[in-house]
Structure 1
Amino acid sequence: MASDQEDDDFLGFSDDEGDGINSDSDSEEGDDAADLVQASQNTAADFGDIGFNEDLPNNTEYVQQVPEVEGEGQQQTTNFQEIPDSETLLYGAIRDAVIEYGYTRKTIGKIWDKEKKQKAAMNSYIVQSQYHRCGRKKVQVSYDSIAQIGMGDRTCIVDLARMLNLGPTTVWRLIKRKIIKPHSSPLHPGISEECKMAKIRWAIRLIMDYTIPQEPTYYSMYDFIHIDEKWFYLTQKNQRVYLANNEPYPHRSASSRTKIPKFMFMAAVARPRWGENGECEFDGKIGIFPFTNAIAAKRTSKNRLKGTIETKPVKSVNQIETRAMMINKLLPAIKAKWPPHEGEKVIYIIQDNAKAHILQNDPE
């Protein structure tokens, strides 16, 4: 028997392929082989390998990356199949991707080639669009190149483009990109430090003395009247009106478009009063009074006879006219419209520092 086994080992045959005679040595080696197979199965189960009796994994669902125009790709579960450990897609996978995402076959092919290169380099699969790098480079303008230009040389796009050595269309694109921003610069009144201090002192004097340490509180100002002057033109060069469907256009004419008469008015207002139930007891509107004179016509014309009283605007509003307005019209209106239930009290008239205004210590 030993000689038969030696012949089988020499020829490289097993018992099934040899002489067909089972020996004691063959049975012992068969038991050893069975033990090795069982040990290998236990080892595979410990390390998570697929057992001999387990089914192969189902490849019908495979996680692929969604091609996007911007940003990184997001993982989604699709029905596109790929053979594991292979660089070949199943038949029709690219066609399904074209139908699913609406891209061309060329775009899907580029994304797949990029994925294969990243997979070969052991990198993560990232789809990032490079569309923002296409086209010519944008014109860049520094902050200093604009700030060093004088304000009078950049009042319009054409002037600014000439100072920057650019085209007007390029400057317009920079405005749309918000690299250059338009700004309307208002003209503010020039106030000196003395005027600022005078305004602050006047505001501080309106605070009630007994409230200064704890809670500074202003006077209620119910006994204050504010006056101011305003110019009004007799008419306007262009005036918008709304007409009926078949109404004719109005025809306006004047002797001169550049010399339209204008009138100055003095307006006076006070703080309104409200009752307990919310009704308005005094609206605070003292009145608005024009600086005009009633003059008799010196001669006859086609428009009026001699001696007809005409209203003429005051050509120059000075302190004399302001004093006459306050004495003849403003003070009588205050006496007539002031709430009677407040009784006798001192009323202060607040005015600005215009030269035509009378002083506080005016004798009249």
Structure 2
Amino acid sequence: MCIFREKRELTNDARTRIANWLLVKKSTGKLKRGTVKEALELFGVHRTTIYRILKQAKALWQNGDAVNMDSKKPKRVGKKGKHIDLSKISEIPFHKRGNIRALAIALGVSKSTIHRFIKSGQIKPHTNALKPALTENNIKERLKWCLKAIDQDNGMFNDMYNTIHLDEKWFYMTKGTQRYYLLPGETQPYRTCKSKRFVTKVMFLCAVARPRFNADGECIFDGKIGMFPFVRWVPAKRRSRNRPAGTLELKPVTSVTKEAYRNMLIRQVIPPIMQKWPDNDQGPIYLQQDNARPHIEVQDRDFMEAVQNSNKDLRLVFQPPNSPDMNVLDLGFFRAIQSLKDQTAPKNTKELVKNVKNAFREYCPTKGNRVFLSLQLVLIQVTRVKGSNNYLQKHVGKEALERQGLLPIVFSPSPSLVEECLAYVEAMQ
């Protein structure tokens, strides 16, 4: 049986064991033929290791000394480590520790030293994002919005099944900087455009609701109302080698006005809601939008006429100002669609629109349900900081809870927190 199969330095006990075994074999005189081969199979070490141990043990035995095969190496070898007080990092301004090189210069150490601290977890990399500046009125409106989402009967958040989130986003033909993974020696891709400032882009209006599942976990409503591009067909003014003059081309609308937004809601958003919305839900449906200038008022006359002609009770609502974290699209939905779209390589506006719509269709409803639960966790965090946006996103392991069948439909803030926020809002009046 082989004792040492892995390639590693032998311990003192292992060397002593090998030495005693070899001395027993040599006690009768010269080693018999095949003894070294037998030692290789028994101890799993290299042939030169056997000869080296035998030579050392033989010399000790002939001098009458005890066969001590302990390593002659000291316990600690090499250059002694330099002690670095990492608490000094907190005294360095944030703008002077934006990368490893800058932090190394500020501490007076090498970049490799900083890299080792990062690997060991003693220094934590952090990516910081800008957040909207909030006025006192913004903070109050955010806190009121969170409290309004709580069901006063049971103290839990509303299930949010009757809310459709609306928002716009630009999708670009390609990114200025794109990451690829290549084989050694593989030719890198060559990408060109006439100007980085004018990469072809299309704005989409996205409308999503919370997905619904039956008792068996099957999706009965995916919540995906639609992904609607702001584009138009324009006849080509001049001929080219690709098409004659007058051929209709798909062009993006570069400036979305209030009129364009109103037409999109009436002609593109309301019909899919009438078609896709579950028939057993007869309550009001809230269309939540942010406070962008092109967005229409709640009582817009043309919109109200379109709602009256439909068979649904649609109501426009504005989310709190400067609060993208109150919309599921900005929380994670757009990021997922962008990631799926980036796995394609559109060559024109038509392909870009097609790829974005395909990414929208491929998005998993189960993940969409998790984003709505993330929104409820955000609302809890906002109440804890009294309406501010200076908080850390809470993670509860929704995917793991879902696998175990323990993922709740709604989360609930603590009753004491709700009472505290109600008193705080009253004091702000």
Q: TM-score range by the shorter chain?
A: 0.5 to 0.7
1:218 aligns with 2:162: no
Task: Tell me the CA shift for residue 313 of structure 1.
Answer: 0.5
1:185 aligns with 2:127: yes
1:203 — aligned with what?
Answer: 146
Letter in 2 for 1:189: K
How many percent of aligned residue pairs carry the same amino acid? Answer: 35
1:158 — aligned with what?
Answer: 101
1:359 — aligned with what?
Answer: 297
Map 1:325-340; keep pairs closer than 5 Å: 325-340=264-279
2:257 — aligned with what?
Answer: 318
Letter in 1 for 2:162: D
Deviation readout 1:206-236 (Å, 9 max, x if unpaired): 2334x0xxx3133333321111222211245
Task: Tell me the CA shift for residue 290 of structure 1.
Answer: 0.3
Q: Indicate the RMSD between aligned Cα atoms, in angstroms.
A: 3.8
Between the aligned partners of 1:148 and 1:251, the Cα distance in structure 2 is 44
Between the aligned partners of 2:189 and 2:253, the Cα distance in structure 1 is 30
Between the aligned partners of 1:241 and 1:172, the Cα distance in structure 2 is 23
Task: Tell me the CA shift for residue 292 of structure 1.
Answer: 0.8
1:138 aligns with 2:47: no
Q: What SS class does the counterpart of residue 263 from structure 2 fall into?
A: helix
Q: 1:136 to 1:338 in 2, by over 3 A?
A: closer
Task: Tell me the CA shift for residue 288 of structure 1.
Answer: 0.6
Between the aligned partners of 2:301 and 2:238, the Cα distance in structure 1 is 40
Q: What SS class does the counterpart of residue 125 from structure 2 fall into?
A: coil
Letter in 1 for 2:242: N
Q: What SS class does the counterpart of residue 131 from structure 1 fall into?
A: coil
Letter in 1 for 2:131: P
Q: 1:194 to 1:166 in 2, by over 3 A?
A: same
Between the aligned partners of 1:205 and 1:357, the Cα distance in structure 2 is 22
Between the aligned partners of 2:275 and 2:142, the Cα distance in structure 1 is 32
Counterpart of 2:70 (choices 84, 93, 103) is 103
Task: Tell me the CA shift for residue 363 of structure 1.
Answer: 3.1
Letter in 1 for 2:225: I
Letter in 1 for 2:81: K
Larger mean CA deviation between 295-304 and 223-232 belongs to 295-304
Between the aligned partners of 2:218 and 2:108, the Cα distance in structure 1 is 66
Q: What TM-score, normalized to structure 1?
A: 0.54
- In the alignment, is the contact (CA less than 8 A) between 2:118 and 2:125 conserved in 1? no
Deviation readout 1:80-126 (Å, 9 max, x if unpaired): xxxxxxxxxxx999624x2xxx316x89xxxxxxxxxxxxxxxxxxx
Task: Tell me the CA shift for residue 173 of structure 1.
Answer: 5.3
Letter in 1 for 2:150: I
1:24 — aligned with what?
Answer: none
Task: Tell me the CA shift for residue 289 of structure 1.
Answer: 0.5
2:206 — aligned with what?
Answer: 267
Task: Tell me the CA shift for residue 266 of structure 1.
Answer: 1.2
Q: What TM-score, normalized to structure 2?
A: 0.46
Q: What SS class does the counterpart of residue 147 from structure 1 fall into?
A: helix
1:303 — aligned with what?
Answer: 242
Deviation readout 1:245-292 (Å, 9 max, x if unpaired): xxx999876544553200111111122333456543322211110011
Letter in 1 for 2:147: I
Deviation readout 1:128-180 (Å, 9 max, x if unpaired): xx835x6655323334543332222233333333333444455555556665x
Task: Tell me the CA shift for residue 329 of structure 1.
Answer: 0.6
Letter in 1 for 2:291: N
Letter in 2 for 1:103: D
Between the aligned partners of 1:333 and 1:176, the Cα distance in structure 2 is 51
Q: What SS class does the counterpart of residue 195 from structure 1 fall into?
A: helix
Between the aligned partners of 1:202 and 1:146, the Cα distance in structure 2 is 39
Task: Tell me the CA shift for residue 183 of structure 1.
Answer: 1.5
Letter in 2 for 1:198: E
Task: Tell me the CA shift for residue 204 of structure 1.
Answer: 1.6
Letter in 2 for 1:203: C
Task: Tell me the CA shift for residue 304 of structure 1.
Answer: 2.4
Between the aligned partners of 1:302 and 1:289, the Cα distance in structure 2 is 31
The gaps in structure 2 that reach 5 residues or longer are 1-10, 13-61, 303-429
1:26 — aligned with what?
Answer: none
Between the aligned partners of 1:142 and 1:277, the Cα distance in structure 2 is 56
Letter in 1 for 2:128: P
Q: Number of residue pairs matched?
A: 238
Write 1 or 2 for the structure with the bigger share of helix.
2
Q: 1:178 to 1:232 in 2, by over 3 A?
A: closer
Between the aligned partners of 1:205 and 1:229, the Cα distance in structure 2 is 25
1:121 — aligned with what?
Answer: none
Between the aligned partners of 1:188 and 1:321, the Cα distance in structure 2 is 30
